[in-house]
Amino acid sequence: MEYSTLEKKNCVVVALKGNLMGGPASADFQAMVKDQIEKGETNLIGDLSEVDFMNSSGLGVLISSLISLRKEGGDFKLCSATDRIKSLLKVSKLFTVFDMYETLDEAIAAYQD
């Protein structure tokens, strides 16, 4: 899993790429989330448009991030999931836990409400 961050208006976009499966890359991701919280950036968006595969460990990474951000009064919204990833989120019932948006622009706009 690779990721990059980009500050947008009143949130941080985290563009995820590749396979989200836990392991060493997930530790780096969790450290990045912690750094964002320490900087006072608690509104994140996970752009899933380039995520090819996600397993239960990958889901755990997303859930852990969501919990950490909500504890600090923020949120972790998801956007642009492929059909494969949407299906996984539906089967796992996590689409009821995360705020999900079809596009990045919609997710950014949701933080402006």
Pick the more confident residue, 22 or 68. Answer: 68
| Tens-place pLDDT, residues 70-89 | 999 999 999 999 999 999 99
The string of pLDDT tens digits covering residues 8-26 is 888 999 999 999 998 888 8
Neighbours of 78 (CB within 10 A): 26
- Please provide the size of the chain in residues: 113
First to last CA, the chain: 31
Mind listing the domains of the chain with CATH numbers? 2-110 (3.30.750.24)
CA distance 111 to 86: 21
- Mean pLDDT of all residues in the chain? 94
- Residues 3-10 have a mean pLDDT of 91
pLDDT confidence bin for 113, thresholds 50/70/90: low
